[in-house]
């Protein structure tokens, strides 16, 4: 009976998409779904509206209210236009930047968005072609715009697309503007969308902005001399069919690296990502072709950026000469270790610097910052929160780096989102620096563990698709919240942090408030032996995520494999305790 009610509801909703407000192609697709005896596709396409959330839009492309299409994108842009016109009504000319990645329909959605902004009297700077997400952030700041968007679904599968909205500081939108925009978007009907653009208000931008961005990225280099000494460093880089191909090889050469080796098959720009199962540099298989090229050319470093070039994955040779993947926690740790060590050595630390990490990122990074006397701030997952800290401390303290476990790092403040362009360049410089000191990047990683203690992290994503999956994820979070573990892998839970209630509960029952800018559906468990477990539903994908971190000891490089094996056993025990 319940299923019949749902089918009736989605059928009524779908029939509204047969009105003249929707084009013939859309109406044809909706009729096909309505006529199909199997109502699964109809239900998934219409059971809810694709929500414009605090991260914008992200969803599977197709016809329907729960899909990415010209109407859901159009409603988002019309709502954002309405909000901008209300909030900046005293400005002579409101302006925005519009960019996009390599995905199917990204250019179409970008051009339609540009038309809608311009039809609402807003000046649009539209990139001539695909560009990295961080350059969109940079351009908003450089051009003095009030907002901007990029059409991208980051590292999601090829069926997805997305829409990220930025504010005038170049960061993704935060309170109170996020909720204000959401309210405006929710009011928009298809008939309200102004699709007929004003071409006089649309300006195409490209190479000139590229050069400004690349010049800014070059200023991040800490030790150009070490690069000059190792300019022939063999680096294999792949954009995995995405936007990194536009700028990252150019940026590396501007920094002084002359031996950049590409993977020609993956330089092909394609939203179908034909050479990989997933265009996600967190997934080892995405780097397989690059690693094969590295073996063929005897390279020293492999780097891969995701489709919108805001994340970087890397691989290097271990002490046995085998190619191994370096995870996001490890790269973030090396970035901050290098920045802090070099700043200290070169006398660049003035006492007003700060770093930022997210709450699910390894705690080992905080130990590095603490030892160097640099405050390490904790934020929620997502670089909009890191950017918020940069904005709050602007003019008071100097930001010198921040990152998260999911392969993102932001080494600069002229851009306010994670940036694979600067991260790839800085990573190459770190490899050159290690080599200058007679070490490999792998040995550098081992030395950090020897100095600060061993740590191993593992992220597990449990995918639950569709309406039933969303309900299951919600039930799992409720169960963890109400019946959380008292011990994990034999170690007593001593602290529980619930970011939805903003309460920290100690094992003695003492409850204190967590100082965070907003609530978030995240739970964290800390045990006596230093294990940390974080649980959160993804804000952009149909999955619930578990982040596990365990501690260990490592007195020398030679003990790395044993420390790693012990930690892996501990992680398996933690997973068993959690039932995952």
**Of the listed 154, 221, 422, 577, which one is catalytic?**
154
Residues 6+ apart with CB under 8 A from 557: 319, 443, 446, 447, 450
Supply the Cα-derived Rg of the chain in whole angstroms: 24
Catalytic site includes residue 154: yes
State both tokens at 374. Answer: 């640099």
Rounded CA gap, 177 and 379, in Å? 19
Q: How far apart are CA 60 and CA 218, in angstroms?
A: 37
Q: Per the structure block, which two tokens stand in for 222?
A: 């800490």
Query: For 85, what's the count of Cα atoms within 13 Å in the CB-facing half-sphere?
Result: 15
Tokens of 111: 């051009």
Give start and end residues of each alpha helix (H) in 380-440: 383-392, 420-436
Q: Of 413, 390, 435, whose CA–CA distance to 300 is shortest?
A: 435
Smallest CA-to-CA distance from 254 within 215, 228, 213 is with: 215
Where would I find the beta strands (DSSP E) of 92-223?
95-100, 123-127, 147-151, 160-167, 202-205
Helix then strand then coil, in percent of the chain rounded to 5, is: 45, 20, 35
3-class secondary-structure state, position 420: helix
Q: Which residues are CB-contacts of 39 (< 8 A; sequence separation ≥ 6)?
A: 7, 10
Other beta carbons less than 10 A from residue 93's beta carbon: 10
| Length of the chain counted residue by residue | 580
SS (H, E, C) 47-86: CCCCCCECCEEEEEECCCCCCECHHHHHHHHHHHHHHHHH
Alpha-helix runs per DSSP H in 401-503: 420-436, 441-452, 466-482
DSSP strand pairing (511-513 vs 487-488):
unpaired
Active site residues: 154
């Amino acid at each position: 009976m319940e299923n019949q009610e749902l089918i009736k509801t989605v059928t009524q909703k779908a029939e509204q998409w047969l009105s003249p407000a929707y084009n013939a192609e859309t109406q044809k697709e909706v009729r096909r779904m309505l006529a199909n005896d199997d109502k699964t596709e109809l239900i998934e396409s219409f059971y809810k509206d694709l929500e414009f959330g605090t991260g914008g839009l992200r969803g599977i492309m197709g016809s329907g209210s729960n899909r990415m299409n010209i109407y859901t994108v159009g409603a988002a842009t019309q709502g954002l236009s309405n909000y901008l016109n209300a909030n900046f009504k005293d400005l002579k000319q409101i302006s925005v930047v519009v960019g996009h990645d390599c995905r199917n329909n990204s250019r179409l959605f970008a051009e339609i968005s540009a038309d809608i902004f311009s039809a609402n009297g807003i000046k649009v700077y539209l990139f001539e072609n695909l560009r990295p997400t961080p350059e969109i952030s940079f351009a908003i700041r450089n051009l003095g715009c009030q907002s901007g968007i990029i059409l991208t679904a980051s590292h999601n599968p090829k069926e997805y697309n997305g829409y990220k909205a930025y504010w005038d500081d170049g960061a993704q939108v935060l309170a109170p503007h996020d909720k204000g925009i959401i309210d405006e978007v929710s009011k928009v009907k298809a008939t309200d969308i102004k699709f007929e653009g004003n071409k006089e208000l649309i300006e195409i931008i490209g190479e000139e902005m590229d050069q400004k961005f690349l010049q800014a990225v070059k200023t991040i280099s800490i030790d150009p001399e070490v690069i000059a000494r190792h300019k022939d460093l063999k680096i294999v880089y792949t954009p995995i069919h995405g936007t990194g191909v536009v700028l990252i090889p150019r940026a590396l050469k501007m920094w002084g690296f002359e031996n950049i080796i590409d993977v020609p098959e993956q330089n092909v720009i394609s939203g179908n990502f034909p050479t990989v199962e997933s265009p996600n540099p967190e997934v080892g298989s995405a780097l397989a072709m690059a690693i094969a090229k590295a073996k063929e050319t005897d390279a020293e470093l492999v780097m891969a950026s995701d489709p919108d070039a805001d994340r970087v994955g890397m691989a290097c040779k271990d002490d046995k000469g085998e190619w191994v993947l370096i995870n996001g926690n490890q790269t973030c740790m090396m970035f901050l270790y290098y920045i802090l060590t070099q700043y200290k050595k070169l006398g660049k630390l003035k006492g007003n610097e700060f770093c930022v990490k997210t709450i699910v990122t390894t705690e080992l990074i905080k130990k590095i910052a603490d030892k160097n006397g640099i405050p390490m701030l904790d934020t929620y997952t997502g670089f909009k929160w890191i950017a918020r800290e940069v904005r709050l401390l602007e003019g008071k303290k100097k930001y010198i780096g921040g990152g998260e476990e999911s392969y993102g790092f932001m080494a600069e403040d002229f851009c306010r989102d994670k940036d694979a362009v600067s991260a790839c360049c800085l990573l190459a410089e770190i490899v050159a620096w290690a080599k200058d000191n007679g070490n490999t990047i792998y040995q550098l990683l081992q030395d950090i563990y020897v100095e600060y203690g061993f740590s191993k992290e593992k992220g597990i994503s449990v995918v639950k698709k569709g309406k039933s999956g969303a309900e299951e994820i919600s039930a799992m979070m409720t169960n963890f919240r109400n019946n959380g573990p008292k011990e994990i892998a034999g170690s007593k839970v001593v602290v529980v942090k619930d970011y939805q209630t903003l309460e920290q509960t100690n094992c003695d029952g003492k409850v204190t408030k967590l100082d965070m800018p907003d609530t978030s559906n995240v739970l964290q468990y800390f045990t006596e032996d230093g294990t940390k477990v974080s649980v959160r539903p993804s804000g952009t994908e149909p999955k619930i995520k578990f982040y596990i971190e365990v501690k260990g000891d490592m007195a020398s490089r030679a003990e790395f494999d044993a420390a790693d094996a012990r930690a892996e056993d501990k992680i398996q025990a933690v997973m068993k305790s959690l039932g995952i």
